[in-house]
Structure 1
Amino acid sequence: MPLSPWRLRLLIVSLLTVSFLGALDHTVVSTSLATIAGELGAVEQMSWVIVSYTLASTVLLPVLGKLADLVGIRLVFFASVVLFLVASMFCGFAQDITQLAIARVAQGAGAAGLMLMPQTMIGVLTSPRERPRVLSIIGIAFPIAILVGPLIGGIITDAWGWRWVFWVNIPLGVIALALAAFAVPHIEGRSGKRFDIAGAVLLGVTVTAVVLAASWASAGGSESATPILIASLVAVLGLAAFIAVELRVAEPLVPLRHFSNRTIVVCIALSTVIGVGLFSVVAYVPTFIQMAYRTSATVSGLVPIATVFGMLISTLVTGSLASRSGRYRMFPLFGTAVAAVGLLVMALLPPGMPLWVPMVAMGLVGIGTGSFMNIIVAVAQSAAPVSDTGSITATVSLVRQIGSTTATAIVGGLIGAGVTAGLPAALDAATLTPAAVHAASASVQAQVAELYSDVMTPIFLGLAVTYAIGFVIALLLPNAKLADHLEPEPAAEPSTVSDPAVA
């Protein structure tokens, strides 16, 4: 159902606003976290403010994607926005950490829809060739949220209090909801189909176990070894049971038949590369810069800003180029190669280089990642039947989330273990801060800088290899063009689904 140009523009504005709200709550709360924990008297439990949101937004992705296919995208979209706004209100009214964590679970569930439904909607309403451009516009919500989220959170917390970090979502959400009421058309689902409850429960348990194991692993400490092992075992058994169920049900939550389609498998693998290769390390880069380059926290923030800015620019440019030409294979090849080079430069940098050097290197990582981050969503959607747009979009997003969460825990554990083992005797690992290092003697500062460089070098090398593997995977994409028009539902059997991305 093609939209008129003005209605498409109105739809893009609405979806961009909604996507920004969902992305913003991943970043805006971090600045006010210490204030929240202090006022609620729960410093030791403050991580649950983040974990509860991340867990819910990850677990609900495949569920909402499948519901969109069955009951219609419009219904799931509006329900997600309303849930997000109501949960935001209750987050602001929370009187203790338990109430806040529960409200954050509901908010995360709504945020999953805010992030997923716009992409799914574009996959149904626009032609394959038009999708990269539109998805790139909506996709800028995430890098913008990374750039401005912490700043907005700090300003709101200082000026009005931490509760307004959540309440500010309400007027913005109402505006987006009003726009969407006019712009979002009715999109039929497949009514009468049974929802895969068993698959949803098993996948929810599996993803929860993975996220919790990763969170506990990143926290460190020998006392956390047992729950990590238990969670990992639950994840393995849950995945095996989930696959067994999906092979038997008539309407699976994640149609495994899509994994016989080379294009879809490559897009899923590239999405995992992004989660592992970039999002696992970007949170640790500021600390590395503060320690290895002896800068302030403010100055160290310039490096991730360069990364996100590169991602922002390349997302818009490559999305536009892909829609103009219809060709898409070159962008994952270019992006993985550039990101691998950037991470390789980071691994080879000696301590004491000018700050602009790591800024350029991490900028290359951002440029490379942004070059194909949204394009692979468009290509995967085009390679699947229209009736499975929600589930295939959710799968691409889910693997990136899981890859990021798991790899972040591994990277954090490696950094913590390496720094603790090599720290100079003059410093205590338990109280190590950039301020403590900067207050130490010049020789100790030099030792710490060398230590952080030594610890981060193999990590950057490993992530460069991850992108290099992504380059090899991208070679498997067909050298084809995206179709110029919306394709009808394929009539082929599931085992021989054709690739409608090829024109």
Structure 2
Amino acid sequence: MNLSPLRTRLVVGALFVVALLGALDHTVVATSLATIAGDLGALAHMSWIIVAYTLASTVLLPVMGRLGDAIGPRTVFLASITLFLAASLACGFAWNMTSLVVARVVQGIGAAGIQLMSQTLVAYIAEPRRRAQYMSVIGAAFPVAIVAGPLIGGVITDTWGWPWVFWINLPVGGIALVFAASALPRVARAERRPRIDVPGAIAFATGMTALVLGVTWFGEGAGAPAVAAVVLAAVAFTAFVAIERRATHPLVALEIFRDRRMAAATALSAIIGVGLFAIVAYVPTFIQMAYGVTATVSGFVPIATVFGMLVASLGTGWLVGRTGHYRRYAIAGPLISAAGLATMAFLPTGLPLGVPMAAMAVVGIGTGAFMSLVVAVAQSSVPRESTGAATAAVNLVRQIGSTVATAIVGGIIGSGVAALLGADIASLTPSEIRAASDGVQAAVVDAYATVVSPVFGALAAVYVIGFLIALLLPAGRIDDAHPAPTPSHQTTT
């Protein structure tokens, strides 16, 4: 079914608003973690406010993808928004850490559906080359959330109290829900009844839970439990692959990866999770320590990265929408990001802050050039009944790569700096270091440069691998893949 230009814009607008709501929740809450945990008397378990949400949203990604293919993405999308809003209400009323974590798990489940279906629905309303353009608009929700989320979270926490960090979702999400319900077309179901691969879902959930717990415990220094969790994850994922290969209705149809476009797009998504998301959280700390600036000033560096991502994503989406050519951007993007990270690796400290800002902006431009594009490529590479599964796979590998690589990078930086400086100096806050002697400041700068520079270099190498993967993409236009899924003739009014 062909939607009118106005109807299409309304649908894309609705999808962007809801996607922004889900993305903002993660970044807004991050600013309020210490306040929330302190008020609930559980500072030692503060990380679980984030881990519970991330774990639930990751584990449910393939399940949501399968449900979207089975009962229709519109139904799953609207149900996910409703679940997300109900959980947001419960989060604000949490009376202890346990109740908050349970509510965050439910909220993460809703977020998984919002994230996936906002992208899957694009495949039902647009031809392949337009998907890249619309996907870049919806994908802009993530960089906007990175910039705006911490500021919004801080203002709300200081002004209204931390429960409103969650309750603010209700009026905004309520409007978005009505908007989405009225604008989204009804689409045909791939099957009469949803059939979920329960054994596969259990194996995958076990593997992901064990993996997230393992990397979290490694970061907390719990060696033996972390090793046991990682071993369990390996066993569970091995079982998952075996189950999926034999399942009649697999949770993830492994045969979709036989298509070269699909395999390359999924691998490129993992490159983004490892290459960028693993380091962006630590860049402000590095800038504060190595350049001696305040936390506020250091925030300009990730902002420059996000701005580069946003401009490049919208730009390549528009270009692909006009020409259909996509391969050149997937090839150039990783090389551009690799150049930016390599510059950071060899950048001497003490330069004006504009220099690392420019280098990280280049990283953002390179990543943005193919970040949303790979989702459109994956969707265009599979038949209609696998659209949700393909979208889930691309998002899933990015999230897994980010989770694992973030834990590894954090461990390298933390242990490396502590080994070079000693526990006393390594535990100093940025403000305390700025007030310390010149000798202490110089030692801190050298330590961070020594530890972090090789990390930038290693991540540049990851992007070079991404360049090699992109070369596997076939030439031609994005339209040359499978046709778009066909919406039913029933639409909402």
Measured against the shorter chain, the TM-score band is over 0.9
- Residue 215 of structure 1 corresponds to 216
Assess, with a 3 A threshold, how the Cα gap between structure 1 residues 158 and 489 changes in structure 2: closer, same or farther.
closer
- Residue 96 of structure 1 corresponds to 96
2:280 is equivalent to residue 282 of structure 1: yes
Matches within 5 A, 1:169-184: 169-184=169-184
Whole-angstrom CA distance in 2 between matches of 1:135 and 1:244: 33
- Residues 12-60 of structure 1 show CA distances to partners (whole Å, capped at 9, x for unaligned) of 1111110001100110001111111111111111111110001011111
Name the stretch that deviates more: 396-405 or 114-123.
114-123
Shift of 1:374: 0.5
Whole-angstrom CA distance in 2 between matches of 1:349 and 1:92: 44
- Partners of 1:424 and 1:448 within 8 A in 2: no
Shift of 1:428: 3.6
Letter in 2 for 1:241: A
- Residue 120 of structure 1 corresponds to 120
- Partners of 1:275 and 1:401 within 8 A in 2: yes
Shift of 1:247: 0.9
- Residue 157 of structure 1 corresponds to 157
Which of the numbers 360, 363, 368 marks the counterpart of 1:362? 360
- Residue 379 of structure 2 corresponds to 381
- Residue 289 of structure 2 corresponds to 291
Letter in 2 for 1:420: A
Letter in 2 for 1:129: R
2:48 is equivalent to residue 48 of structure 1: yes
Which of the numbers 222, 225, 229 marks the counterpart of 2:223? 225
- Partners of 1:85 and 1:170 within 8 A in 2: yes
Partner of 1:483, secondary structure, is helix
Whole-angstrom CA distance in 1 between matches of 2:215 and 2:402: 10
Assess, with a 3 A threshold, how the Cα gap between structure 1 residues 484 and 269 changes in structure 2: closer, same or farther.
closer
- Residue 260 of structure 1 corresponds to 258
Shift of 1:445: 0.3
Which of the numbers 244, 258, 261 marks the counterpart of 2:242? 244
Structure 2, unaligned runs of 5 or more: 487-493
Whole-angstrom CA distance in 2 between matches of 1:73 and 1:193: 12
Whole-angstrom CA distance in 2 between matches of 1:473 and 1:295: 38
Assess, with a 3 A threshold, how the Cα gap between structure 1 residues 300 and 376 changes in structure 2: closer, same or farther.
same
- Residue 415 of structure 2 corresponds to 417
- Residue 406 of structure 1 corresponds to 404
Aligned residues: CA RMSD:
1.4
2:129 is equivalent to residue 129 of structure 1: yes
- Residue 490 of structure 2 corresponds to none
Name the stretch that deviates more: 242-251 or 275-284.
242-251
Partner of 1:405, secondary structure, is helix
- Partners of 1:83 and 1:106 within 8 A in 2: yes
Matches within 5 A, 1:22-33: 22-33=22-33
Whole-angstrom CA distance in 2 between matches of 1:211 and 1:127: 37
- Residues 422-445 of structure 1 show CA distances to partners (whole Å, capped at 9, x for unaligned) of 0068x443x321122112101110
Partner of 2:462, secondary structure, is helix
Shift of 1:447: 1.2
- Partners of 1:126 and 1:486 within 8 A in 2: no
- Residues 326-365 of structure 1 show CA distances to partners (whole Å, capped at 9, x for unaligned) of 0000111111011000000000011111111100011011
Structure 1, unaligned runs of 5 or more: 491-503
- Partners of 1:127 and 1:485 within 8 A in 2: no
- Residue 440 of structure 1 corresponds to 436
- Residue 20 of structure 2 corresponds to 20
2:87 is equivalent to residue 82 of structure 1: no
- Partners of 1:193 and 1:251 within 8 A in 2: no
Letter in 2 for 1:351: T
Shift of 1:5: 0.9
- Residues 402-434 of structure 1 show CA distances to partners (whole Å, capped at 9, x for unaligned) of 000000000001001110110068x443x3211
Whole-angstrom CA distance in 1 between matches of 2:357 and 2:417: 23
TM-score (norm 1): 0.94
Whole-angstrom CA distance in 2 between matches of 1:305 and 1:287: 14
Matches within 5 A, 1:313-332: 313-332=311-330
- Residue 309 of structure 1 corresponds to 307
Whole-angstrom CA distance in 2 between matches of 1:214 and 1:278: 18
2:472 is equivalent to residue 476 of structure 1: yes
Which of the numbers 447, 455, 459 marks the counterpart of 1:459? 455
The count of corresponding residues between Structure 1 and Structure 2 is 485
Identity between Structure 1 and Structure 2 (%): 55
- Partners of 2:66 and 2:389 within 8 A in 1: yes
- Residue 491 of structure 2 corresponds to none
- Partners of 1:88 and 1:107 within 8 A in 2: yes
- Partners of 2:58 and 2:112 within 8 A in 1: yes
Whole-angstrom CA distance in 1 between matches of 2:338 and 2:251: 34
- Residues 184-237 of structure 1 show CA distances to partners (whole Å, capped at 9, x for unaligned) of 111122123532111111111111111111222223x2xx11111111111111
- Residues 142-196 of structure 1 show CA distances to partners (whole Å, capped at 9, x for unaligned) of 0000000000000111111000000000011111111111111111221235321
Whole-angstrom CA distance in 1 between matches of 2:209 and 2:441: 40
Letter in 2 for 1:200: A
Partner of 1:68, secondary structure, is helix
- Residue 37 of structure 1 corresponds to 37
Assess, with a 3 A threshold, how the Cα gap between structure 1 residues 118 and 488 changes in structure 2: closer, same or farther.
closer
Assess, with a 3 A threshold, how the Cα gap between structure 1 residues 279 and 211 changes in structure 2: closer, same or farther.
same
Whole-angstrom CA distance in 1 between matches of 2:257 and 2:115: 23
Name the stretch that deviates more: 287-296 or 476-485.
476-485
Whole-angstrom CA distance in 2 between matches of 1:338 and 1:279: 16
Shift of 1:486: 7.8
Letter in 2 for 1:470: G
Assess, with a 3 A threshold, how the Cα gap between structure 1 residues 489 and 315 changes in structure 2: closer, same or farther.
closer
- Residues 267-290 of structure 1 show CA distances to partners (whole Å, capped at 9, x for unaligned) of 011000000000000000001001
- Residue 489 of structure 2 corresponds to none
Whole-angstrom CA distance in 1 between matches of 2:184 and 2:378: 22
Shift of 1:483: 1.8
Name the stretch that deviates more: 182-191 or 269-278.
182-191
- Residue 144 of structure 1 corresponds to 144
Whole-angstrom CA distance in 2 between matches of 1:100 and 1:93: 8
- Residues 444-503 of structure 1 show CA distances to partners (whole Å, capped at 9, x for unaligned) of 10111011001011100100000001001101101110228982779xxxxxxxxxxxxx
TM-score (norm 2): 0.96
Name the stretch that deviates more: 224-233 or 82-91.
224-233
Whole-angstrom CA distance in 1 between matches of 2:2 and 2:250: 29
Letter in 1 for 2:242: A
Name the stretch that deviates more: 189-198 or 41-50.
189-198
Whole-angstrom CA distance in 2 between matches of 1:128 and 1:234: 40
Whole-angstrom CA distance in 1 between matches of 2:404 and 2:482: 37
- Residue 67 of structure 1 corresponds to 67
